[in-house]
Structure 1
C-alpha cells in the first residue's frame, strides 16, 4: 500500500514541476532546495518499499514505520494538490508575475464570492506546508536506515489485457461427491416441513460456487416453483433480506416499512408454492434474528428447501440445519486441472510442457482452494519465462504464518505483482460493502478523482482506467461480470474473501458502515487520521452521522441508501463542503434521497481538491453558473460557439440531447441544424448519442470526420426523411436507430454521400458488428442498388463484419418494413409492432 502511495506522490510532484516549467513562471519561489530534498527522500524510500511491505507482516516495528509513512504521504498529496490547484488557477487567470498579485477577481469554475483568500497568501501557505511535510518525511527517511531494508525494484509495465481474453472460470473443477450429495438432498423428499441444508468450509473453498451450481441445475429447477437467491453477508440485516426475498418472488416492497408487514407479504407470496431459498454467506449466530424470517417461510408448500452457505459450522447449527455438508478442498489433480486451465490458456504446447513441472509445484501450494488456484493461475498466465515462475514458487510470502487466511498468501503474490497504480485502484474497492455491484464506469471515475489514473501517451484517462479494470478482472480479483447488449462488461463484484484481503491490506483506510441508531459509535472507533475513504449506507430515515465531520483527512465520501425514502438534513451539505476540504470525491446515490434546497451551497468553493461530484440523489436543479459554463448551454448558440467542444481532446463519449424548449416554445428545425453543426466534438470521439433532434437532415460537416467513432445511437430524430451516409465511418461497430418517424425508404444514401466523382470506395460499414432499428413506424423499404463509377459497374462490400452473437441476430429491425431487397450477408431478425 505504501509503495503505491509513494509512487503516486512522486508522479504528482514531477508533473507539477513540469507544469511550472511549461508556464515559465514560478508560483512558489524560494523552495527549490525543499522540492529537491522532497523528491530525493521519496525516491530513496521508494527503493526499499518492496522489501518493507513483505516484512511488515512479521515485524511490527516495520508495520508502524509504514503506517507513519502512509500518513505523511497523504499529507504530501494534499499539499501537492493545493499547489497544482494554484498553478491551474494562475493559468486560468493569466497571471504573468509570481510576485505580483492580481487585483481583478476572476471566477474559477465556482462563483467568485467563494474565494476570499489572496494569491500571495496562498503561495506563502503552500511554501510553509511544503517545508513542514518535508521535515516530517526527512525524519521518516532517516528512520529507515535502522531496518536494513534491501533495495528491490521491479518493472511497472502493465500487460495490456483485452476484455475478450477473460476466461470463464465459473465451471466447477472436481467436487463431484459434493455436487451429487447436494443435488440429491435438495431434490429428495423430506419428512421435515422446511429443511435447512448447509454448506460449510473456509473462505475460498468453493461454497458459493457449489450453491450456484445447485441453483442452476435442471433437476433443482424442475423441483421447485420458485427459486430465491439472497447474499446475506455481515451484518444480518432482517429488512434487506426480507425485501430481497419479496423482490425475487416478483412482489413489491413499496409502502412496506415494518418488518412484520414484510414477513406477512413473504408468507402470502409463497403460499401454494414450493420454493428453494439460498442464503449465501451467513455469519450471525443470533437465532433471534433468524427465527422470525424462518416462521414466515413455513407457509410454503411441503417440499420447499433452504440452502445456507457459511464459513462457521456453529452458524449452521444455530439455524437448525438437518444436513451439514463440509466442503473440502480440491484434490491435487483437481487443483492442478483448474490452475492449468487458466495459467496455460493460449500458450503453445512446447511452452506448456516446459512449465508443467514447476506449475504443479505452485498449484500444490494452493492447498486445494479453488480461489487460490484461480488467482495464481491468473497471475502466472502473464509470465512467460521459467525464471518468473520460479520466483513465485520461492517467494517468502508462502512462509508468513501471521496472515489471517491461507488464501491470502496467493492473493498477496498476485497483489504484489501489480503495478503500483493498479494496486491503489484495487485497494480502493474496499470502500464498498461485500456483494456490492460495482459499476465499471463509476468505479473508473472514482479512481480518476483520486489521481490513481493518469493519461498515457495518446490515451484518455477513461481508456487507461478500463485497462486497469481489465487487469484486475484478468487476475480473478473481480468476478460475476455484468454485460450490456453489446457484450461489453459494465459491472462486477468482488469475492467476499478478496474483499477481506483488500480490507486486510488497507487497515481501515477504506471504510463502509451502515448507519442506524446502533451504528453511530462505530464511526467514532476509527482513527480519524487514518480514514481516507468512507461509504455509508443509510438504513433509517433522517439519520446522518455527525462523527463524519471528525474525519478531516477524508478523500472520498459516498452516501448510499438502503431502499428508504431519505431526506437529507438541510444543513448537511454546507457543513460537508465547509469542513471536509480534502475531499476528491463526493457522491449521493440516486434513488430516494431528497434535499430541502435546489441550489448547491456556496461552500462548495472550498473543495479545491474535488474532482468527482455526484448530487444526482438529492434532486437538485440548479448548479452555479460558472460550474456549467465550461460545458456550454445548447439553448444558447453564442455560448455553444465559445465552448469549443472540439478542443476537448479527452472527450471520448458525448450525448447531445435536444429535448429542451427555448423560452417555453419548441425550437425550429433549422435551429437544431445550426446547433448540431456548432457542437463539433473532438476527432477522438468514440461514442455519440443524439436524442430528440428536430432537424430535417442529420449530416453536420464534422460527422464523417469521426474516424474513431465506434458506437452511434440516433434516437427520436423524428423529422429526418433520410439516413446519413454512415457507411463511410471506418471504425463504426454498433449502430442503433430509433423512432425516426419520417423515414420511409433506405437506399444507397445510407452508404455514402452522393458520388461527386472523387471517391472510388466500394467498402461500406467495414467494422460494423451490430445494427438495430426500433420503432420505425413509417419505414417501408430497404433497397441497395448497384451503382456505377464512370463507365465501370461497382461491386459493393457492405457490412461484411456483421456476425451473430450466440442465438441473437445482430441486425434487429422492429418496424413495419414491407420489403428488404438485395442485402448480402446480413442476418436479419424481424419484430413487427
Structure 2
C-alpha cells in the first residue's frame, strides 16, 4: 500500500510543479528548492519500497512502523499540493468569469504580483511553510530508511493495463455427492418430525465452495418448481435481526410499512408465508446465540408443509444450535478435482503444447492450494497471464507460501495475485475494504470513487473512466470480484467480493478503512475516533439509529459513505455544519439512502465550501429544495449525484465555476424546471443525465437560454434525457448549431416534447425540431415522447444503422412512421399511444412498418410491444418475415380484431405472447373458448388478462 500512496504523491508533485512553478512561487519566498528537495526525497524512498513491503510481510515490525509514517506524510503531501493547486484554479476561474460582480484581471498561467490580494499572498506563504515542514519530516524518514539496510529493487513497469476478458466458469468440480445429497434433502418431504420446517446445513471452511453449491441448488429447475417462493439472505457477522428480517420480507416482496420493532417484522413474515411452501437460504451464518435464531424459527414454522431453511456456515456448532436435521460437510477438493478447476482458468484459450510444458509445475502449484476452490481459481487466473515456465516457477518458489501471518488458508494465493498487479490497480483493490461484507458494489460508482482519490490519474483531460473500466476488468479477471450482475447488453453493472477476499483487503489496509453499522435503540452510540490513520469509512444507519456525531472529529477521513434504511431519518440540524465543515480532507462524500423514500438531509449548509479537496459528492434521494451557492466553490468536484432528489427546484447559479465537473447525475429531478446559466462552460462533462429546455426561469434571468448550451459539451456519453422541447422557439438556430451530431459517445437519447405553461404548439414545429435534433450515427437507443407531429419520418432516423432500441411514447397525433423495418440492427420496438386504425407491414401504405423493397423486415427484431393504441382495428401483415421475433406484447388495444396469420405462422422463434386489456383478441385466442386458439398454441409462453382489468394504465416496463 505504501508504494501506491507515495507514487500518487509523486504524480501530483510532478504535475503541479511542471505546470505552475513561476512567479506565484517566488512571491512566497522562492520555494523552488524546497519543492525540488521534496521530490528528490520521495524518489529516493520510492526505490526501496518494494524491499520494505516484502520485509514487513515477513514480520519486520520496525519496517512496518516506518512504512506507516511514510504513508501518513505522503497523505499530508497530497493535501498541501492539492490546496496549492485549488487556489490556482480559483484565481483562474474568478479571472475567467464573464458575469463576475466586479471586473477582475484574467489570470494567466504565471500570476503577476498585481493580481494578488493580501489573502492570496498570505495563503501562498502558508503553503510554502507547510512544504518546508513536510520536507523536515521527510528528511527524518529518508534518514531512517538507511537504518534498515533497505535495498533498491526495480519494479516492473506497466504503461497501460490491457483490457482482459475474465473466465466465468459455472461448472462445479468434485461435488456430485454433496450436490445430489443437498438436492435430495431439499426435495424430500417424508420427515414427519419436522413437518412444517426443516433446517439443512452446509458446513465447511472459507473458500471451500459452500455458497456456490447453495446457489446451484437455489437455481435448480426442480427446486424452483418444488417451492412456492425462494428467499436468499446473506447474514454474515454479526447477526443483525432487523436486517435479516427486512431481507426476508424484501425476498417475499412485501411492504415493510416503516416497521421499527423486530416483532412487527416477524408478524409480517408470519402472515406472508402462511400456506406458502418456501425455501429460505441463510448464507454465511456465524452467530452461536440461539436466542437470536429462536424468534425466526417459531415465525417460519407457519409456512406450509415441506418448507426448508438452508444455511451455510464455517462452524458446525452453529448448525447444531439452529437445529439442523441434515448436516452436509463440504471437504477440500481431491487433488485431481482441484487440478481440473485450476486448469479451466490457467489454460483458457492456450494451445496444447503450452499445457504439456506447464502441467507438471502447475500440479505442484495446485498442491499448495490445499483443495480450496477459490484458491485454485485465483491461482489459475493469475497464471493465465504468465506465458513462460520461469514465470510459473517464480510463483511456485515464492516466500509468500511460507509466511506465518498470511500462509494460512487463502491469503497466500491472494497475496501472490495481488503482488502481481501494478501499484495503480493495487490501490484500487485495497480501497474496496471500505465496503461491508456482501455489499453490492456498483461498478460505475466504484470507478468514480477511485477517480476521486486520484487513483486513475490527475490530468483532467485523460479518459479516467476508461482507465477505471480497464482496472475493474483486470481485478475481475483475477477473481477479486464475483457475483456479477449484468445488463441486457451483458455489461457488468455490479459485483460482490468473496468474504475471504474482503478479509484480505482489510488485512492490507489494516486501520485505514472501517465499516460501522449503527443500530437503533442506542442513543449514545459513539464510533471509535482515536485512530488518526483512518482514511476511509462507510456508515450504515439502521432503522431507528441516531447519527454518530463523533464521526465529524475524524479529520483524516478522505472518504465518508453514509447510507440509511429508515424513511423517517434525518441528520440533526446542529450536526450538518460539522459534517460539511470539519472533515476538510474529504475527497468523497456519499449521503444516500437504501430506498427512494428514505432521507438523511434536507438542507446542505453553506459550510460545504470548506471541503476544498472534494471530488465526489453523492446526495441522491435526499429531500433538499436547493443547493447553496457556496457549493460552486468546490473547484475540484468531478462528480455531483443529485438523482432522485425529487424536491430539488433549482441548481446554483454559479455552476459554471465547476470547471472539473465530469458527471452531473440528475435522473428523476422532477421538480427541476431549468438549467442555470453557465452550464455551457462545463466542457469536461461526460455525464449530463437530464437537460431541461426552458427559455426563461421564474425570475426571467437565471435560465440557460436555449439548447445551444449543449453544443460545446462534446464529451457527453451514455444517456441524455432532454425534456421541455415544446418550449423551443428557434428551431432554425437548433438546426444550424447541430448540437447533438458531435457527441459520438452518446448512445442513448431520450427526447421529450413537453411544454410549460399555457397554449398549444403547432404539430409541424415538432416535425421540424425532430429533424434538427440529429444525433451522431453511433446512437443505439432512441426514445421519443409527447411528440405532436403526425408524421415520424426523418432521414437521420433511417441512417442509424446501429440503433437497437426504439420507443415511441404518447405521440397521440402520430399517423405515419418511417419504414422502420429497414433499420438493420433494431432489436426492440415499443409504441405507446398512436392514432392509427390500420397498421400495414410489407407493402407501401399508411401503417407503421411500410416498405416496398423486401418482405424480410426487421432482420434482428426480438421484442415488439404495443400499448394504448385505442383506435387500432386492423393489422395488414402481407407476406412479411420477422425472422428473430421472440416476444410480442399487445396491451390495451381494444379494437384490434385479429393477429396476422402470417405472423403467427412465420415467426418461428416467437416464445412469448402477451395479450392484456384487448377484449377482442382475448376472446378470439383464449384456450378452450377461442375460435383461433390453435393458431397460437405452439407458442411456449402465453399470457392473457381478463377484460375487466381496470386498475389504470400499466407502468412502462
Q: TM-score, normalised by structure 2?
A: 0.76
Please report how far the alpha carbon of residue 538 of structure 1 lies from its aligned counterpart in structure 2 after TM superposition: 0.6
CA contact (8 A) 1:584 1:609 kept: yes
CA contact (8 A) 1:275 1:304 kept: yes
2:609 corresponds, among 598, 602, 605, to: 605
Counterpart for residue 722 of structure 1: 792
**Which piece of structure 1 moves more, 646-655 or 173-182?**
646-655
Please report how far the alpha carbon of residue 785 of structure 1 lies from its aligned counterpart in structure 2 after TM superposition: 8.4
2:720 corresponds, among 617, 637, 655, to: 655
2:832 corresponds, among 771, 775, 799, to: 775
1:546 corresponds, among 545, 549, 574, to: 549
1:284-303 mapped onto 2 (5 Å cutoff): 284-303=287-306
Q: Partners of 1:520 and 1:389 in 2: how far apart? A: 56
1:686 corresponds, among 746, 749, 752, to: 746
Q: Does 1:95 align with 2:107?
A: yes
Q: Which string of whole-angstrom CA distances, capped at 9 and with x for unpartnered residues, describes residues 587-621 of structure 1?
A: 11143444674x53211111111111122232112
CA contact (8 A) 2:720 2:746 kept: no
Residue 245 to residue 524, structure 1, CA distance change in 2 (3 Å): closer
Residue 542 to residue 659, structure 1, CA distance change in 2 (3 Å): farther
Counterpart for residue 34 of structure 1: 34
1:683-832 mapped onto 2 (5 Å cutoff): 683-694=743-754, 696-697=766-767, 706=776, 708-719=778-789, 721-724=791-794, 725-729=796-800, 732=803, 735-747=806-818, 768=825, 770-775=827-832, 777-778=834-835, 781=839, 810-814=862-866, 818-819=875-876, 827-828=884-885, 829-832=887-890
CA contact (8 A) 2:694 2:727 kept: no
Q: Partners of 1:654 and 1:23 in 2: how far apart? A: 44
Secondary structure of 1:566's aligned partner:
coil
Please report how far the alpha carbon of residue 251 of structure 1 lies from its aligned counterpart in structure 2 after TM superposition: 2.1
Counterpart for residue 365 of structure 2: 362
Counterpart for residue 381 of structure 1: 384
Secondary structure of 1:119's aligned partner:
helix
Q: What count of residue pairs does the alignment treat as equivalent?
A: 785
CA contact (8 A) 1:715 1:740 kept: yes
Please report how far the alpha carbon of residue 647 of structure 1 lies from its aligned counterpart in structure 2 after TM superposition: 3.6
Please report how far the alpha carbon of residue 524 of structure 1 lies from its aligned counterpart in structure 2 after TM superposition: 4.1
Counterpart for residue 621 of structure 2: 617
CA contact (8 A) 1:200 1:313 kept: yes
CA contact (8 A) 1:20 1:27 kept: no
2:274 corresponds, among 271, 274, 278, to: 271
1:137-152 mapped onto 2 (5 Å cutoff): 137-150=138-151, 151-152=153-154
Q: Where does the alignment leave 5 or more consecutive residues of structure 1 unmatched? A: 105-116, 661-666, 752-763, 787-793, 804-808
Counterpart for residue 59 of structure 1: 60
Q: Partners of 2:146 and 2:773 in 1: how far apart? A: 61
Residue 27 to residue 568, structure 1, CA distance change in 2 (3 Å): farther
Secondary structure of 2:405's aligned partner:
coil
CA contact (8 A) 2:567 2:599 kept: no
Q: Partners of 2:786 and 2:429 in 1: how far apart? A: 40
Please report how far the alpha carbon of residue 514 of structure 1 lies from its aligned counterpart in structure 2 after TM superposition: 0.8
Please report how far the alpha carbon of residue 461 of structure 1 lies from its aligned counterpart in structure 2 after TM superposition: 2.0
Q: Partners of 2:552 and 2:120 in 1: how far apart? A: 28
Q: Partners of 1:689 and 1:66 in 2: how far apart? A: 50
Q: Which string of whole-angstrom CA distances, capped at 9 and with x for unpartnered residues, describes residues 704-741 of structure 1?
A: 57255455444444547324423434665555544444
**Which piece of structure 1 moves more, 125-134 or 248-257?**
248-257
Please report how far the alpha carbon of residue 441 of structure 1 lies from its aligned counterpart in structure 2 after TM superposition: 1.6
Q: Does 1:424 align with 2:437?
A: no
Q: Partners of 2:857 and 2:158 in 1: how far apart? A: 41
1:249-398 mapped onto 2 (5 Å cutoff): 249-398=252-401
1:522-601 mapped onto 2 (5 Å cutoff): 524-525=527-528, 527-541=530-544, 543-590=546-593, 591-594=596-599, 597=602, 599-601=603-605
Counterpart for residue 654 of structure 2: 626
Please report how far the alpha carbon of residue 328 of structure 1 lies from its aligned counterpart in structure 2 after TM superposition: 0.9
| RMSD over aligned Cα atoms | 3.4
2:694 corresponds, among 629, 635, 643, to: 635
Please report how far the alpha carbon of residue 309 of structure 1 lies from its aligned counterpart in structure 2 after TM superposition: 0.9
Q: Where does the alignment leave 5 or more consecutive residues of structure 2 unmatched? A: 96-105, 630-652, 656-675, 681-691, 697-702, 755-764, 845-851, 892-957
Q: Partners of 2:478 and 2:768 in 1: how far apart? A: 44
Please report how far the alpha carbon of residue 357 of structure 1 lies from its aligned counterpart in structure 2 after TM superposition: 2.5
1:154 corresponds, among 156, 164, 171, to: 156
Counterpart for residue 110 of structure 1: none
Please report how far the alpha carbon of residue 369 of structure 1 lies from its aligned counterpart in structure 2 after TM superposition: 0.8
Please report how far the alpha carbon of residue 830 of structure 1 lies from its aligned counterpart in structure 2 after TM superposition: 2.9
Counterpart for residue 71 of structure 2: 70
CA contact (8 A) 1:717 1:740 kept: yes
Counterpart for residue 689 of structure 2: none
Q: Partners of 1:181 and 1:825 in 2: how far apart? A: 46
Please report how far the alpha carbon of residue 368 of structure 1 lies from its aligned counterpart in structure 2 after TM superposition: 0.9
Q: Partners of 2:855 and 2:130 in 1: how far apart? A: 65
